[in-house]
Amino acid sequence: MSALIAPSILSADFANLERDLGAIATADYAHVDVMDNHFVPNLTLGLPIFERLAQVSPVPLDAHLMIADPDRWAPGYAEAGAASVTFHAEAATAPVRLARELRRLGSRAGLALRPATSVEPFLDLLPEFDMLLVMSVEPGFGGQSFIEGVLPKVRRIRDAVSEAGLDVWVQVDGGISRATIERAADAGANVFVAGSAVYGAENVPGEIAALRALADQHTH
C-alpha cells in the first residue's frame, strides 16, 4: 500500500489559500482543519470557505472536523465535495449513523480519536468507516511535537484492520515530519498529515516527495 500525503492547510497563509493549495498539487489530499472554538480552543474556517476551497483546489479535500455536534454539520462538507470527512468520536452522538450518511453523500467517512481516546469501543465498528484518524498531538494547533505514546494505538488499529481483511485507512495527524514519519508508518499508518513540515519547507513539492519516499519504505 503506497503512503498518502495530506498537507494541512492550517500552516498555509490564510490570505492566500488558493495559492497555497496550488503549492501542494503533488500531494494526495489537502487536509482542511475545521475548528469551532468549542471542541478545540481555536477557530479556523467553516462551510462557506470550505465550499470555495473545494471549487479551486487541485487536490481532493480531506476535511477534519474538530467541532462540536458533527452529526449536524458534517454532511454539509460531504455535499460541498469533500473526498473525505472525518469527525471526532468524542463529539459525535451517533457515529455509525453519521458515517453512513457521509458515505451515502459520496464521501469517505473517517473517525478521529484524540491522543487519550481508546480505540477499543470502535474496533467492532471498523467496517462502518473508511479511515481512522489517530491524533498524534492534542488537536487545536499546528507545530506541536509528536506524541510517541499513540503508536501502540496505530498498531492496534492496523492489526484489527488486517485481521478483519478490511480496507480501512489509518491516518496520523500532528508532529509528522522527516523525523517521525517512519515510526508512524512502521506502526501501520498509511495516510500522513503534515502541516508545518510541508508549508515550512523551502521546497514544498520536494518535502512532499521526501515524506512520501520515507513513509513508503515502511508502509506494509
Ligand X SMILES: O=C(CO)[C@@H](O)[C@H](O)COP(=O)(O)O
Name residue, grid cell 508545518. Answer: 196
Residue 5 main-chain phi, psi, to 5 deg: -110, 130
Q: Is 200 annotated as a binding residue?
A: no
Distances (CA, A) of 186 to 51, 86, 172, 190, 207: 35, 23, 12, 9, 20
Per CB under 6 A, 26 contacts ligand X: no
Instruction: Rank residues 26 and 123 by Cβ distance to ligand X and give the closer one.
Output: 26
Per CB under 6 A, 10 contacts ligand X: yes
Per CB under 6 A, 31 contacts ligand X: yes
**173 tagged catalytic:** yes
User: What is the smallest separation between the CB atom of 133 and ligand X, expressed in angstroms?
Assistant: 9
Instruction: Rank residues 137 and 160 by Cβ distance to ligand X and give the closer one.
Output: 137
Instruction: Rank residues 105 and 176 by Cβ distance to ligand X and give the closer one.
Output: 176
Q: Which of 28, 33, 36, 62 is catalytic?
A: 33
Per CB under 6 A, 154 contacts ligand X: no
> At CB < 8 A and 24+ separation, what contacts does 15-19 make?
17/49, 17/53, 18/53, 18/56
User: What is the smallest separation between the CB atom of 104 and ligand X, expressed in angstroms?
Assistant: 26
**Residue 190: alpha-carbon gap to chain centroid:** 11
Q: Is 188 annotated as a binding residue?
A: no
CA atoms within 13 A on the CB side of 69: 6
**33 tagged catalytic:** yes
User: What is the smallest separation between the CB atom of 2 and ligand X, expressed in angstroms?
Assistant: 20
CA atoms within 13 A on the CB side of 82: 33
Catalytic residues: 33, 173
